A and B are shown apart, each in its own frame.
Chain A
Amino acid sequence: MSLSHLERLEAESIHIIREVASTSSNPVMLYSIGKDSAVMLHLALKAFAPGTLPFPVLHVDTTWKFKEMIEFRNQMAKHHDLNLLVHINQDGLKEGVGPFTHGSANHTEIMKTIALKQALNKHRFDAAFGGARRDEEKSRAKERIFSFRSETHRWDPKNQRPELWNIYNTRINKDESVRVFPLSNWTELDIWQYIHLENIPIVPLYLAAKRPVVERDGQLIMVDDERIPLDENEEIMHKMIRFRTLGCYPLTGAVESEATTIEEIIQEMLLTRTSERQGRVIDQDTGASMEQKKQEGYF
């Protein structure tokens, strides 16, 4: 009679998504094109079936995403009749900001964090869905599902509203906004399991294939376009690789893998035991760095 744990998670997420649509005047769903975004979008489509999404979907494009991600994004938008908004930080673009020339921290700050704030301010969104999960990282374990941001988009971890039952206080004052995380209670395994059960389309980069890569600082970086500067002694290898998370291609390390189906990904994930954020260059600072980034407005 009672629901399985995935059915419970699914129902909880749909409840959260509907609550935002009912109580916010101008919500938006942030769409990063990754697997968590894929699940979040899938849940949102279910929440409002047979209708379409009652809010737009926003992609903050750093201009350094994998080509396949952008293709996939455009396909999804067309297929589901999404109101897709794409925002690029034009100032950063003019100055030619990129990870190779400006370093990963500056690039992420300008093309991602600042770009996101620009987009939220421009459209005056008062609620933004994000696909973050609490199991990803220690500071996220304490963040509420409805997480408030000041008018400067800052998060104050010491001043969070208590969140009881499934009654969410969605009210905000003028110029404040709320980030909403419908996948808070999902784990990485839940996400893959759900993608598997529901046949949710994902970017093919998650599955292993022969791809051109170079090895840098112990990470396998894919040569996705000609913008990647190659040292004389660097050689492009063709390896069976896949990605556990997707972002800007120069900042996303690949893993060598033979997993070409979702089932094999899950199998590999359960047997090899490194956490998924390890592939993200941005996280590999001290323990508190993510919390600091979040306070500054990083999603």
Chain B
Amino acid sequence: MSHQSDLIEKDISAYLKSHAEKGFIRFITCGSVDDGKSTLIGRLLYDSKMIFEDQLSALEKDSKKVGTQGQNIDFALLVDGLAAEREQGITIDVAYRYFSTDKRKFIVADTPGHEQYTRNMATGASTADLAILMIDARKGILTQTKRHSFIISLLGIKHVVLAINKMDLIEFDQNIFEEIDKNYRNFANKLGFHNIVSIPVSALGGDNIIEKSEKTDWYNGPMLMEHLETVQIEEQNVSAPFRLPVQWVNRPNLDFRGFSGTVSAGNIAVGDEIVALPNAKTSTVKGILGTSGEKNHATFGEAITICLEDEIDISRGDVIAKINERPETTDQFQAHVIWMHEEHLLPGRPYLIKTNNQTTEGVVTELKHKINVNSLEHESGKTLELNEVGLINISLNQSIAYDPYTENKSMGSFIIIDKFTNSTVACGMIKFGLRRASNVHWQAVDVDKKSRSEQKHQKAKILWFTGLSGSGKSTIANLVEKKLHATGRHTYLLDGDNVRHGLNKDLGFTDVDRVENIRRIGEVSKLMVDAGLIVLTAFISPFRAERQMVRQMMDKDEFIEIFVDTPLEICEERDIKGLYKKARSGNLKNFTGIDSPYEIPKTAEIHVNTLDNTAEEAAEYIVQKLVS
């Protein structure tokens, strides 16, 4: 086994040489809570002699104290790292483990099985070449198995090992093994895996992990470790078109100007003609600086710095490609996303979209459908919650160069970041760019109301709140504005405070002045709607005719009349500003409801009743009405 090679003792130099040249794969283990994942990983570490003596003695001690295997070693304790997990006896996050054999070095992502941590599985799968799916032989294919399979296929894993575990508990029954294998292949045929290998194992007893088990003489396939050591992972990225996403512009002095990054696909040589995207400037490779100095040639995976013949303007986030193998550029694309945060997706809210080295602002313009991770069926929806998967359209505020995720993981992946909390809220896999024909940003020649409001990803509107003094118009309008703002809408609230003291300070409260007041507010609102804004107005506006006048200034569907319905006696009882008292005592003339009429709207689009609802409930109701 590993590190036990005689070479270590006899010829350490030769051993080191062979060790330096060995290969490398990363895999992920997924399974349900009690399938024995941690036990399997503990077993691989133990059997490949990666556990040191002091760790082993601690393990023996812990096994007797908190282990679940009586006096035997509980391998799961080796990998259950965080204190909280030890208490709960489950794995709650993704953990990475390292071991190597004489043939390969392995990095294992150990990820939890229960549904609420799907995001961690996606995290582990994003860097894995292969997945081991743990199956409890007594239970067969579970919903969780299907969910895990879907997620790893979405993340582009092509190699699957079905570790059918706990064979000792079903007396190593060949029929059960074959039944599970058949069922799984039937289920997985649409997931695009290149190969599926089923192995009957007992992680606890070590059967078919390293050594062939005597109890499965009917099984002729590889042992688990043997398969991991020999499986061929396609180096699809080596033969793919060259891509260098520029990470850092290296300009230490006036004589040197290089573009640094990690080659995400293909290869490049000195003398090759290149193009930098999205600006499409071209040049020729003058020199390549690798990790061991100057070189003529670089390939997938290397961290390099490229120098060019011409002084062209390239910055971080640009992608260098060969001139005849360009990636596409777009500012709108369709992508699968996995939502990873408790705060659900808000279409229309501006998020930060980080692709390879490039951070732009973008909004989700459409949720095409959700995908039920258990049934794989498409479902409609307005938002994505934590751990939900969906197909979305995204619009960016600048163009990026990309490749579809299935062709180049690094050029087709992105994360979504909340602008205010900086949390990573989702990850995405680009399917394709949306055609320019549907791209309103670039097509718009005349800047008009439509283009202005589409740039803000909204429909310009006026929300006209009307109601008696003290009915709660301003309070509710304020709450509605806050809610709209939080979802990325561009708004403006006109109310007594910002109109009566400025624009309309020459007006009093006679009927004529009231009409002029509303006319001016209407005209200002119209300009703001033309600018693409959602305008909220909170005025008593007692006369039907003036409300109708403003309605007619606007285009169809732009004027939303909202009647804040509070009976006079309640308003008078509240009398927040003391105005009713003044009016009743005759110190305030022409007060609506007392000595001036209020004409109740007959055609209001939205009617809120403040007796049965709090201001917050009323505001939420209005926002819901607007969205639907």
Contact = CB atoms under 8 A, between A and B. Distances in A.
A270 B54 contact: no
Contacts of B251: 51
A185 B98 contact: yes
Interface residues of A, number: 64
Contacts of B238: 1-2
A139 B96 CA distance: 10
Given A4-B20, A47-B303, A166-B262, A141 B12 contact: no
Interface stretch (A27-35, A101-109, A113-121, A273-281): A273-281
A46 B58 CA distance: 40
B413 A267 contact: no
A173 B422 contact: yes
A142 B19 contact: no
A49 B354 CA distance: 26
Interface stretch (A17-25, A61-69, A72-80, A224-232): A17-25
Contacts of B235: 1-2
B456 to A, nearest CB: 24
Contact of B9 (A4, A14, A271): A271
A151 interface: no
B12 A21 contact: no
A51 B252 contact: yes
Contacts of B437: none
**Interface size grouping (class) on chain B:** 35 or more
A297 interface: no
B58 A287 contact: yes
A7 B21 CA distance: 10
Given A162-B122, A193-B20, A275-B54, A139 B82 contact: yes
A91 interface: no
B18 to A, nearest CB: 11
Contacts of B422: 169, 171-173
Contacts of B92: 158
B415 A8 contact: no
Contacts of B227: none
Contacts of B410: 165-166
Contacts of B352: 171
Residue among B302, B352, B421 with most chain A CB within 10 A: B302
B247 A18 contact: yes
B123 A163 contact: yes
B250 A51 contact: yes
A90 interface: no
Nearest to B233: A2
B97 A141 contact: yes
A141 B95 contact: yes
B99 to A, nearest CB: 9
B336 interface: no
A165 B52 contact: no
A267 B12 contact: yes
B310 interface: no
B107 interface: yes
Given A1-B235, A164-B427, A7 B19 contact: no
Given A162-B120, A167-B354, A275-B52, A14 B291 contact: yes
A36 to B, nearest CB: 15
Given A3-B302, A165-B127, A274 B20 contact: no
A31 to B, nearest CB: 20
A252 interface: no
A267 B262 contact: no
B8 A271 contact: yes
B509 interface: no
Contacts of A22: 247-248, 316, 357
A7 B54 CA distance: 31
A142 B354 contact: no
A285 to B, nearest CB: 12
Interface in B278-326: 289, 291, 299-303, 305, 316
Contacts of A189: 19, 100
B23 interface: yes
A195 B119 CA distance: 36
A52 interface: yes
B355 interface: yes
Interface string B116-128: 0001101100110
A4 B415 contact: no
Contact of A3 (B19, B49, B301, B417): B301
A165 B409 contact: yes
A184 B58 CA distance: 24
A158 to B, nearest CB: 7
A50 B289 contact: yes
Contacts of A263: 12-13, 16
A49 B98 CA distance: 30
Interface string B223-259: 0000000000001001000000001101111001000
A11 interface: yes
A267 B54 contact: no
B23 A5 contact: yes
B27 to A, nearest CB: 14
A162 B8 contact: no
Interface in A79-118: none
A185 B13 CA distance: 24
B37 to A, nearest CB: 14
Contacts of A184: 96
B96 A141 contact: yes
A104 B81 CA distance: 25
Nearest to A135: B98
B12 A264 contact: yes
Nearest to A138: B81
Contacts of A266: 12, 16
A95 B177 CA distance: 69
B424 interface: yes
B445 interface: no
A51 B253 CA distance: 8
A185 B261 CA distance: 19
Interface in B65-118: 79-84, 86, 92-98, 100, 105, 107
A50 B252 contact: yes
Contacts of B415: 164, 167, 169
B83 A291 contact: yes
Contact of B8 (A4, A169, A187, A270): A270
Contacts of B34: none
Contact of B105 (A5, A10, A196, A278): A5
Contacts of B299: 1, 3
A6 B81 CA distance: 26
Interface in B4-35: 8-9, 12-13, 16, 19-24
Nearest to A2: B235
B256 A162 contact: no
A76 B54 CA distance: 34
21 contacts: A1-B299, A2-B300, A7-B301, A7-B302, A14-B291, A18-B260, A46-B303, A47-B260, A51-B256, A134-B98, A135-B98, A139-B81, A162-B340, A164-B415, A165-B410, A166-B262, A266-B12, A273-B53, A274-B53, A288-B86, A291-B82
Given A11-B302, A15-B303, A292-B83, 20 more contacts: A3-B24, A8-B301, A10-B291, A11-B262, A22-B247, A50-B252, A135-B98, A138-B79, A138-B81, A139-B83, A158-B92, A162-B120, A164-B122, A165-B413, A171-B417, A173-B421, A187-B100, A189-B19, A266-B12, A270-B3
**When A and B form their complex, which 4 residue pairs have the shortest distance between CB atoms, in order from nearest?**
A51-B252, A5-B24, A138-B81, A288-B83
Interface of B: 3, 8-9, 12-13, 16, 19-24, 49, 52-55, 58, 62, 79-84, 86, 92-98, 100, 105, 107, 119-120, 122-123, 126-127, 235, 238, 247-248, 250-253, 256, 260-262, 289, 291, 299-303, 305, 316, 340, 352, 354-357, 409-410, 413-415, 417, 421-424, 427
Interface of A: 1-8, 10-11, 14-15, 18-19, 21-22, 46-52, 134-135, 138-139, 141-142, 157-158, 160-167, 169, 171-173, 184-185, 187, 189, 193, 196-197, 263-264, 266-267, 270-271, 273-275, 278, 287-288, 291-292
